[in-house]
Amino acid sequence: MNLYIKISILALASIYLLPAVYGQNVSTDLQAANHWELINRTATRVLEKNSIRLSEAPDVGMMILKGSDMGDGVIELDIKGSHQIQQSFVGVVFHIQNTTTYDAIYFRPFNFKSNEALRRGHAVQYISMPGNDWEKLRNQFPGKYEHEVFPAPDPDEWFHVKIVLQKFHVSVYVNNERQPSLEVERISKTTHGGLGLWVGNNSPGSFAHFNFYPR
């Protein structure tokens, strides 16, 4: 029988995050419960969609599920950023080896509905850290590791994301569209690692209904 695991922020709130309280900053509760590790951010639990909001701060921030070790599978969640230019980078980090070595898929909601085609083409991004950030990949492989999201979501509203990991292939689907918004071959040769949420430089972000289904 295939292994089936479902990890959800809502379920974690009742299983792992006790004694979390609605409306309270839960970064301390998460750390005390010893299941989430917050990197360069604080986390607040919000009533809307039973979501987690990561704070704004310089540099990258993460919220890593301690003990997670995922390989192939499907990640699903809802994400909310904003239209604030260069201040909304929101996504998922996976195959984490340490806090500087990981792969990530993230979105720039402020580019979703830009009037400039070039900016729309920078809506969803794959990176493989530490050696392959967005700038290097864009300069060396323009258009290969980032793409437009179509139809474009509202940059100030929730959108649904499904990330399919199969060996070194990654497909990213937005709002249950049949066609992926991004398909890439991973640069990293890692086959497993940790899993979590990711926000970019000076960016907050909200996340809900986080599920992982391993294959």
The predicted-structure confidence for 63-82, as pLDDT tens digits, reads as follows: 998 888 889 999 999 999 99
As a whole-number percent, the residues of the chain with pLDDT over 90 amount to 72
135-160 pLDDT, tens digit each: 999 999 999 999 999 999 999 999 99
Q: What is the pLDDT of residue 2?
A: 40
User: Does residue 98 sit within a domain?
Assistant: yes
pLDDT of residue 22: 27
The answer to the question of residue 4 being in a domain is: no
- Residue 47 pLDDT level (bands cut at 50, 70, 90): confident
In a domain, 34, yes or no: yes
Question: What distance in Å separates the CA atoms of residue 118 and residue 147, rounded to the nearest whole number?
Answer: 10
Mention every residue, 6+ apart, whose C-beta is less than 8 A from residue 14. Answer: none
Average pLDDT (37-51) is 89
pLDDT for the residue numbered 139 = 97
- Establish if 124 belongs to a structural domain: yes
Inside any domain, residue 118: yes
Q: What is the pLDDT of residue 10?
A: 37
Give the pLDDT confidence score for residue 210 in this predicted structure.
86
Q: 27 — phi, psi (to 5°)?
A: -60, -45
1 part of a folded domain: no
3 within a domain of the structure (yes/no): no
- Looking at residue 34, its pLDDT comes to 55
Q: What is the CATH number of the domain that holds 197?
A: 2.60.120.560
Q: What is the number of domains present in the chain?
A: 1
Higher-confidence residue of 212 and 161: namely 161
Round to whole Å and give the CA distance between 172 and 183: 6
Torsion angle of C-alpha atoms 55, 91, 22, 59, degrees rounded to 10:
-20
Q: Which of 79, 154, 144, 77 is nearest to 111 (CA)?
A: 154
**Residue the block writes with tokens 């898929």:** 105
What's the domain range around 160? 9-214
Place of tokens 């295939």: 2
Q: Is residue 115 part of a domain?
A: yes
List, as one string, the DSSP characters of the chain: --------HHHHHHHTS-S--TTSB-HHHHHHHTSEEEES--EEEETGGGEEEEPP-SS-EEEEETT--B-SEEEEEEEE--S-TTS--EEEEEEEEETTEEEEEEE-GGGTT-SSHHHHTTSEEEEEETTB-HHHHHHHSTTTSEE--SSPPPTTS-EEEEEEEETTEEEEEETT-SS-SEEEE-S-----BEEEEEE-TT--EEEEEEEEEE-
| pLDDT digit string, tens, across residues 81-132 | 999 999 999 999 999 999 999 999 999 999 999 999 999 999 999 999 999 9
For position 193, what pLDDT does the model report?
95
Question: Mean pLDDT across the stretch 15-23?
Answer: 30
**Closest CA relative to residue 203, chosen from 117, 123, 106:** 106
